[in-house]
Amino acid sequence: NAGEKLVVRDKVVALLGAFCSTSTAAMMEVAKKHKVPLITGISTAAQLTEQGNPYFFRAVATTPMLGNAFGAVLPGAVKAKRFAFLVLNDDWGRSMVASYPKSIERAGGQIVATEFFQQSDLQFLSQITKVKSSNPDAIVLAANTQQAVALSKQIRELGITVPLIGEGSWTSDSYLKLAGPASDGVYGLVEYVYTIHNPINDAFVKEFQAKLKENPTKFAGAAHNAINIVVDAIRRAGAADPEKIRAALEKTDYTGLVGNIKFDAKHQAYGQTVYLAHVKNGVPEVIETATIAKP
């Protein structure tokens, strides 16, 4: 409904969003129906770019891409062999358990448990107890801030001390402050983290901190990328015309916070850098990087 209003009532020439993959899937139909380009900077479920929607663009790596980039290095990076998955039961979480295990196993790791939780859950005793009984060396999680905080605290309260590795908000200020000591030692698998050092990000972080008095999250980084890619396309299109913007987006060659981004024939971004960050004393420091190859 919001997408329809933006296009029909406000006559927008491009859409940015949505937040989660399920919502983005719904927005894609609006973009296709009205022939308005839609770009997401955050939704990672792989199937979104497999639908042949000519008006949809994804400016972020998919979960399988992250899995391929980092799954093979996780056993060595966190010094673990036995991995358990504890993830949100949605397109994102299911995509993780369908993609990460393959590369982890190729690197000598073993998957010993897989548990799901629902979007409304904040108590995870049952799932954590099952994970604990599998005796993992590390736990891989998919969760956004509120659930990530609750998971971290409850896992540690149950005496589980193994490394936690998460996709989601595991490196954001909001998570780190709310989780407190439970965040120490957590690993974040992220498309952006504020501790990246390059001239573009250094300037972005400085301006962001000055204005908002906090560090930019992966979501802020995603928005920065998506907005600037659209602005770049509008400038190259030479007109605020949806079809011309769509055509310009296909020829994207944009360098920003996370390096160079282009789109393949399915409008999936590639060429950018992704990061494995380790939280120490509330600061997520990058310990591994990888480049997203062209699919």
* pLDDT per position as a tens digit, 77-89: 999 999 999 999 9
Contact 217/282 with Cβ under 8 angstroms?
no
Beta-bridge partners for 277: 188, 286
CA distance 125 to 129: 6
The pLDDT value recorded for residue 247 is 98
Structure-block tokens of residue 142:
């998919």
* pLDDT per position as a tens digit, 148-170: 999 999 999 999 999 999 998 89
**Any residues with CB less than 8 A from the CB of 193 and at least 6 apart, and which?**
171, 218, 221, 275, 277, 284, 286
28-37: b or e for each residue (b if 16 or more CB lie within 10 Å)? bebbbebebb
pTM: 0.89
The pLDDT value recorded for residue 46 is 86
* pLDDT per position as a tens digit, 9-53: 999 999 999 888 889 999 999 999 999 999 999 998 889 999 999
What backbone torsions phi and psi does residue 22 show, to the nearest 5 degrees?
-65, -40
CA distance 73 to 288: 9
Element (H, E) at 36: none
